Chains A and B, each alone.
Chain A
Amino acid sequence: MRHAIAPSENVENNSIAVTDLFKICTHCERLNKKDLGIRIPRPLGSGPSRFIPEKEILQVSKVDASTQAIFEDAFAALRRLDNISLVMSFHPQYLESFLRTQHYLLQMDGPLPLHYRHYICIMAAARHQCSYLVNLHVNDFLQVGGNTKWLNGLNEAPQKLQQLGEINKILAHRPWLLTKEHIERLLKAEEHSWSLAELIHAVVLLTHYHSLSSFTFGCGIMPEINCDGGHTFRPPSVSQYCVCDIANGNGHANHHNDLLGNQEMCGEVEELMERMKQLQECRDDEEASQEEMATRFEREKTESMLVVTSEDEECVPSRDISRHFEDTSYGYQDFSRRGEQVPTFRAQDYSWEDHGFSLVNRLYPDVGQMLDEKFQMAYNLTYNTMATHKDVDTSMLRRAIWNYIHCMFGIRYDDYDYGEINQLLDRSFKIYIKTMVCSPEKTTKRMYESFWRQFQHSEKVHVNLLLMEARMQAELLYALRAITRYMT
């Protein structure tokens, strides 16, 4: 279906039927096109993801009935089936919850008008230079009657949205710096002020799209062929690179099937399982002192900062989205790097279940419930498999990943031994997580391939889902805490 849409649009005026065109060999076709002056778009890559081979991803024709139904729903609601959904269809249960939430946030009753919602999505995705999501929502934005002028940059948007720029920036990169003063500034700006309900809606959208950008980069989502950047008019022989590939330094030709590495990593899964088992067994034996636990958390936190994603080169944002930035220099920065010690966020003092949920549900009914389901779904999703092994309890691993991400945001669980993280997550995996969560635009295919080599793609997508939800929850917790503080 994806492949069908675009060509037909462009050949519409032509007397030659699409099928006729396809029968012509590529060379002649090119000539033909030149003669007629028609440019035929062709897909840049194959399949919805650059990282995952197309054949691995469920084809629309082959999916089972329940996934089919989800796809139908999604198509009916959005009039498209995006590549994100296709990649997520590895995990249909989650996908359903995800789509329901997203649909509710964007289309259903809510405090914000529709074009505002899409504009906020654009703002959020642009923070991470995620051109895929930006383009998607630019289209939606225009479709619901948004003002084209606004797309020239935040300066052209209403004052009200401009004010949101500040917390968009903070939430995307350093959510721990969000204070009640920020909230107050938004809520008390006279005629441009936000209502609490609107703000909650905006915050949920922002966090959702920040983390969705992470997912998009983390799974290497390709633009659909009918989107900007999803197709090329160049003949196939000239280039196989997509713009993003060049930016990220990886191309399709660059398949590194280093067998050596594979052999080396052969025992990886087994080793990991062994460690999990050990941890489970000897937990009672060695009881770390409280101080030890505290230092472990600090160590993990500081270490997470040392995991350098890449050189701090100034990434040049691609042209079309840069307009949404007012401050490109503002990027992720580790906690306490410049001596500004931010107090640790204690998960027990402000948790999603107890506090965040109530606040969201109070101000934006039903969304709390949906987010709650989505978080739980992501956190509890398991097939009890690891690579080729079956009946494995992966809860420990999942918890380690979740808590590691929260740890990067300075959220600490009193009842968690952060030593476990070191045991379970190896360095390449940590690099991947860190990159994806903090500066997703720098994720490369090499990173994706270099962690957990023996695991299946579906499992890597699963990890991505975990990362996405954990990141969203962390950002939300900081935002909601600030709002709560403002309210008290």
Chain B
Amino acid sequence: MEKMSRVTTALGSSSITGRTMFCHLDAPANAISVCRDAAQVVVAGRNIFKIYALEEEQFVEKLNLRVGRKPSLNFSCADVMWHQMEENLLATAATNGAVVTWNLGKPSRNKQDQLFTEHKRTVNKVCFHPTEAYMLLSGSQDGFMKCFDLRKKESVSTFSGQSESVRDVQFSMKDYFTFAASFENGNVQLWDIRRPDRYERMFTAHTGPVFCCDWHPDDRGWLATGGRDKMVKVWDMTTNRAKEIYCVQTIASVARVKWRPEKKFHLATCSMMVDHNIYVWDIRRPFIPFATFEEHKDVTTGIVWRHQHDPHYLLSGSKDSTLYQHMFKDATRPVDKANPEGLCFGLMGDLAFAVNESLVSSDGGRKPYPGGDRRYPFFSFKKPNPTEQFAHVSSALSVFETDLDSSRMDWFVKTAQLYLLSGKPFTELCDHNATVARELKRPQVSTTWTMLRIMFSDPALGPNHSLSKLGGLPLMNSFSMKEMGPESRLERCKGESRQDNIHLEPGNSHISNNNEENEETEGSDGPTEYMFGDAELDDDDLYPLEHDNQTVAEEPVYTLPPEAFQLRHEIIDNPSVPEHLQQDKADSPHVSGNEAEVACLTPIESFSLISISQPLYSPHLHANFFCPIVREMLSHYAERGDVQMAVSVLIVLGEKIRKEIDDLTQEHWYMSYIDLLQRFELWNVSNEVIKLSTCSAITCLNQTSTTLHINCSNCKRPMSNKGWICDRCRQCASACAVCHHVVKGLFVWCQGCSHGGHLEHIMNWLKNNSHCPAGCGHLCEYT
């Protein structure tokens, strides 16, 4: 195997050929090992012990070593190793604690040679000395390692791991006398084979068991270890203290690790649980496997490189009862599949984008975004790549900053803070929210609130009441009202909405002048209000009228994840609510209702209009009548990215609408909105929303992650105790630094020196002082 240090024949003369192939075993394999000339492989498991010949096209069963009628536990192998000097010599470790050697040269059917039953527990590992013919080492669950001389009947020496189970033993390549042992408690020990009384060196390599270790085949004193903590670590053992030089984080506990021959930085790993693949890592690139073999259907239990000087063939045995030969050229290269572009939004709308430089340059002069002026500093860096195996990669990183003049999410934050969601009668909530929206120059939202109030408020209150209020609202499209009567307005709206339905591209010629008028009247809602969204929207919605561009062809280079980004509502959206209403209504028998609807929807100025709508309202329409419309409206808002509106309406309407919308959608909206609120650090609002929500999945959010880990202010150690008293220094940890009483209730403390106290006291103190009241000298700051 790769452990050979004295190599008599190099590759060359009989170069290995073959292909990716496999054969079915009768039973799950626990371990495999190859003979030195790479022509045969032995497979061992609980119910299998066979030798296969590796031929060009297939595996051929050569020998079944499991003979005898009664299956003995001595055949139940946890590990197997083929001697690298003696072609006929094998050793197995049995689960019942026996160490067995086998001599293939024996003429009889039973090839069993020696049987050592000195271990009391399962033997996890056997290892032949790489150069010495008769020296065998075993490591067992009982915490002992034993060295056997095969010419004698019993062990020569016993090494005690201090009652910790041994998981792996490996002779060093570099030093004739040294071997490494890995333990269940996370330690690795180095022993001198001549000194059984004490280990030479011990260090803690992993948290939890170290399942495997492997010396680097070149004499470099490198030891790779793999553990249950899902890490592979490479240690430099040449220095006084074992030094961790590389670390690879895998996705499952590491069961085996094997250095790849002839490749200094490569090693192969397989896992014991969950993950069935074999990975080959370049230890300098620990984030993504260099190559992956994905053939096995169950966990891989044994991996071995076929020849100690050939890096192209890997053999593996698995619990799925197959034995595989993997060709390196057939391996999957995860790097190829990895997404080479990175994209990330900053909170305030900045966009960072990293891409392979070649892609960017090939685009030549074209600006990635039509609004090229928005593309702020562009910088790139090249990362020189040291590896020959990896393609030379360099990436360009661009950062697109938002226009600093307009603080784009202001409206969101303000809306979130000012909206009232509960605590008042429904109509007042609607009115309040409408006012808020209006003040933030979001007339459509404002109108929606008003609409909702009209639709759902108790008809008994009388339309007069509600409508007179409505009449007081400033009206966004008032100009149009002046020009035409309600009927013609209705016609126009209908026509437009259909068009908009089909083509939501404002750059299109379909947009009638009404839109442009809107644009003018709502001039403040220009492109500067645009927050962020995907590129498509950017192209289409943002510069609809300024650029007369047909960008459709070149736009979808950058696609963003469909998260709920907040979009500023465009003017174009305005007709959309009426559109739904009208189209729905058009089919309904309530023609009168239809008109009333229009009257409400379309901006109202004159009282004559109200007088028209009054008699048509309420008597015919039950509040439930509007539910489908409102539902569609909410979905529309949510789809446009304004989950804020959707959630707020949901909460304010409460029972009136809840049943109309399925729980999953509601939950999804709530989650998106809460996520956004938390990003903007609007903790109070988010908490209120959580509290007011009716989805069980949301309300329970308030109950999770409510733990706060604190340090004791006296001894600065973490407080493990749940009470008021630190268990280390036996003092009350949360005493107020000003009044020296225990604080129960609001507690404010400095994150720097962890002193603090009653909120009021500290505020008062810091008005006049800059130092910590505890006298520790720290300059505390109250923000």
Contact, CB under 8 Å: B70 / A359 = no
- In the bound complex, do residue B122 and residue A414 qualify as a contact, i.e. CB atoms below 8 Å apart? yes
CB of B121 within 8 A of CB of A415, answer yes
B78 at the interface (CB under 8 A from A): yes
Q: Which of B385-393, B444-452, B517-525, B697-705 contacts A (4 or more CB under 8 A)?
A: B697-705
Chain B residues near A487 (CB, 8 Å)? 274
A358 and B253 form a contact (CB under 8 A): yes
B residues in contact with A303, CB < 8 Å: none
Return chain B residues, CB-CB under 8 Å to A76.
721-723
Complex interface residues of chain A between 278 and 296 (CB less than 8 A to chain B): 283, 287, 290-291, 293-294
In the complex, which residue of chain A has the Cβ closest to the Cβ of B230? A358
In the complex, whether A20 has a CB less than 8 A from a CB of chain B is: no
Q: Which of A88-138 contact B (CB under 8 A)?
A: 108-109, 113-114
B19: chain A residues within 8 A (beta carbon):
none
Q: How far does the alpha carbon of A114 sit from the alpha carbon of B320 in the complex, in Å?
A: 39
Interface contact B95-A290, CB-CB below 8 Å: no
Name the A residues within 8 Å of B78 (CB-CB). 348
**Minimum CB distance partner of B276 in chain A:** A488
Q: How far is the CB of B428 from chain A (nearest CB, A)?
A: 30
Report whether A353 and B209 are in contact in the complex, using a CB–CB cutoff of 8 Å. yes
Q: Are B723 and A415 in contact (CB under 8 A)?
A: no
Asked if residues B705 and A293 are in contact (CB atoms below 8 Å), the reply is no
Say yes or no: A415 contacts B721, CB within 8 Å. no
How many of chain B's residues have a CB under 8 angstroms from any CB in A? 43
**A283, A287, A294, A362: which contacts B73 (Cβ < 8 A)?**
A294
B297 engages A114 (CB within 8 Å)? no
Among B273, B298, B725, B727, find the residue whose CB has the most chain A CB atoms closer than 10 A.
B273
On chain A, the residues within 8 Å of B727 by CB distance are 69
CA distance A108 to B704 in the complex (A): 7
- Is B46 part of the binding interface, using a Cβ–Cβ cutoff of 8 Å? yes
B358 within 8 A of A: no
A77 touches B722 (CB 8 A): yes
Within 8 Å CB of A113, what residues of B? 696, 700, 703
Closest residue on chain A to residue B252 by CB atoms:
A358
| Interface contact B74-A290, CB-CB below 8 Å | yes
Complexed CA–CA distance, A354 and B96 (Å): 17
Are B253 and A414 closer than 8 Å at their CB atoms?
no
A72 at the interface (CB under 8 A from B): yes
Establish whether residues A415 and B272, one from each chain, have CB atoms under 8 Å apart when the complex forms. no
Q: Give the complex CA separation of A362 and B271 in angstroms.
A: 13
* B106-127 Cβ-contact flags toward A at 8 Å (1 or 0): 0000000000010111100000
Does A293 contact B46, Cβ atoms closer than 8 Å?
no
Minimal beta-carbon separation of A348 from chain B (angstroms): 4
Contact between B299 and A488, CB atoms less than 8 A apart: yes
> B168 near A: Cβ within 8 Å?
no
Which parts of B167-191 form the interface with A (CB within 8 Å)? 184
Query: Of all chain B residues, which has the CB nearest A480?
Result: B273
Give the chain B neighbours of A346 by CB distance below 8 A: 46, 95
Does A264 sit within 8 A of B, measured CB to CB?
no
User: For chain A residues 58-103, which have a beta carbon within 8 Å of chain B?
Assistant: 69, 72-73, 76-77
Contacts of B700 in A (CB 8 A): 113-114
Contact with A along B67-106 (1 / 0, CB 8 A): 0001011101010000000000000001111000000000
Q: How far is the CB of B333 from chain A (nearest CB, A)?
A: 25
A190 interface residue per 8 A CB criterion = no
A349 close to chain B: CB less than 8 A: yes
Contact assessment for A109 and B721 in the assembled complex, using a CB-CB cutoff below 8 Å = no
- Cβ contact of A73, chosen from B122, B299, B704, B721, cutoff 8 A: B721
Q: Which residue of B lies closest to A110 (CB)?
A: B704
The answer to whether B723 touches A73 (Cβ under 8 A) is yes
Question: Chain A contact residues: over half helix, strand or loop, or mixed?
Answer: helix
* Chain B 230-282 residues near chain A, CB threshold 8 A: 252-253, 272-274, 276
Contacts A290-B72, A415-B96, A415-B141; is A488 near B297 (CB within 8 Å)? yes
Q: Are the C-beta atoms of A488 and B298 separated by less than 8 Å?
A: yes
Q: Does B707 belong to the interface (CB within 8 Å)?
A: yes
Contacting residues, chain B, for A114 (C-beta < 8 A) = 700, 703
CB pair A414 B272 closer than 8 Å: no
Tell me how far the C-beta of A118 lies from the nearest C-beta in chain B, rounded to whole angstroms: 13
A304: shortest Cβ distance to chain B, in Å? 21
Point out the residues of chain A lying under 8 angstroms from B272, CB to CB: 354-355, 358
Total CB contacts across the A-B interface at under 8 A: 90
Contact of B722 among A73, A283, A359, A415 (CB under 8 A): A73
A76-B722, A77-B722, A414-B76 are contacts. A355–B273 as well, Cβ < 8 Å? yes
CB pair A348–B95 under 8 Å, yes or no, is: yes
B interface footprint on A354-373 (CB within 8 Å = 1, 0 otherwise): 11011100100000000010
Q: Which residues of A contact B442 (CB under 8 A)?
A: none
- Our pick among A69, A359, A372 for the contact of B274 (Cβ within 8 Å) is A359
CA distance in complex: A294, B73 (Å) = 9
Q: Does B228 reach chain A (CB closer than 8 Å)?
A: yes
Residues B274 and A358 in contact, CB atoms below 8 Å apart: yes
Report whether B705 and A109 are in contact in the complex, using a CB–CB cutoff of 8 Å. Answer: yes
**Which one of B73, B117, B276, B707 contacts A414 once the chains associate, using CB atoms below 8 Å?**
B73
Docked CA distance A372–B211 (Å):
16
Q: Assess whether B96 is in contact with A293, with CB atoms less than 8 Å apart.
A: yes
The CA-CA distance from A69 to B726 in the complex, in Å, is 10
Q: How far, in angstroms, from A414 to B98 measured CA to CA in the complex?
A: 10
| Chain B: minimal CB distance from A99 (Å) | 11
Residues of A within 8 Å of B209, CB to CB, are 353-354
Q: Please, which residue of chain B has its CB at the minimum distance from the CB of A354?
A: B272
Chain A hits for B299, CB < 8 A? 488
Chain A positions within 8 Å of B121 at CB level: 415
Contacts of B298 in A (CB 8 A): 488
Q: A290-327 toward B: CB 8 Å interface, digit per residue (1/0)?
A: 11011000000000000000000000000000000000
Cβ A72 vs Cβ B721 within 8 A? yes
Q: Tell me, rounded to whole Å, the shortest Cβ–Cβ distance linking B663 to chain A.
A: 9
Report the minimal beta-carbon distance from B500 to chain A, rounded to whole angstroms: 36
A348 to B73, CA, bound (A): 12
**CB pair A291 B70 closer than 8 Å:** yes
Whether B74 lies near A72 (C-beta < 8 A) is no
Q: Contact at B722–A349, with CB atoms within 8 Å?
A: no
Given A108-B707, A109-B704, A358-B273 contact (CB < 8 Å): yes
Residues of A within 8 A of B722 (CB): 72-73, 76-77
Q: Which of A291, A353, A414, A415 has the largest count of B CB atoms less than 10 A from its CB?
A: A415
Say how far A113's CB is from chain B's closest CB, in angstroms. Answer: 5
User: Which residues from chain B contact A291 at a C-beta distance below 8 Å?
Assistant: 70, 72
Q: Which residues of A contact B703 (CB under 8 A)?
A: 113-114
A348 to B165, CA, bound (A): 14
Q: Verify if A484 is at the interface (C-beta below 8 Å from B).
A: yes
Contact string against A for B residues 698-735, beta-carbon threshold 8 Å, 1 for contact and 0 otherwise: 00100111010000000000000111010100000000
Q: A348-B78, A362-B274, A488-B299 are in contact. Are A353 and B184 (CB under 8 A)?
A: yes
Complex-state Cα separation, A346 to B707, whole angstroms: 41
Q: For the complex, give the distance between the alpha carbons of A259 and B76 in Å.
A: 51
Smallest CB gap from B119: residue in A:
A415
User: Can you name the residue of chain B whose Cβ is closest to the Cβ of A108?
Assistant: B707
Q: How far is the CB of B697 from chain A (nearest CB, A)?
A: 8
On chain A, the residues within 8 Å of B705 by CB distance are: 109
Do the beta carbons of B297 and A290 come within 8 Å of each other? Answer: no
Residues of A within 8 A of B320 (CB): 488
- B25-75, CB < 8 A from A: 46, 70, 72-74
Q: B96 and A414: CB pair below 8 A?
A: yes
Q: Which of A283, A290, A488 contacts B96 (CB 8 A)?
A: A290
For the complex with contacts A114-B700, A114-B703, 12 further pairs of A-B residues with Cβ separation under 8 Å are A72-B723, A73-B722, A73-B723, A291-B70, A293-B96, A348-B78, A353-B184, A354-B211, A372-B208, A415-B97, A487-B274, A488-B298
The 5 A-B pairs with the shortest beta carbon distances in the complex, nearest first, are A76-B722, A414-B95, A290-B72, A358-B273, A414-B96
A to B CB contacts below 8 Å, 11 in the list:
A76-B723, A348-B122, A353-B184, A354-B253, A355-B272, A358-B274, A415-B95, A415-B97, A415-B120, A415-B122, A484-B274
Task: Give the B-binding residues of A (Cβ under 8 A).
Answer: 69, 72-73, 76-77, 108-109, 113-114, 283, 287, 290-291, 293-294, 346, 348-349, 353-355, 357-359, 362, 372, 414-415, 484, 487-488
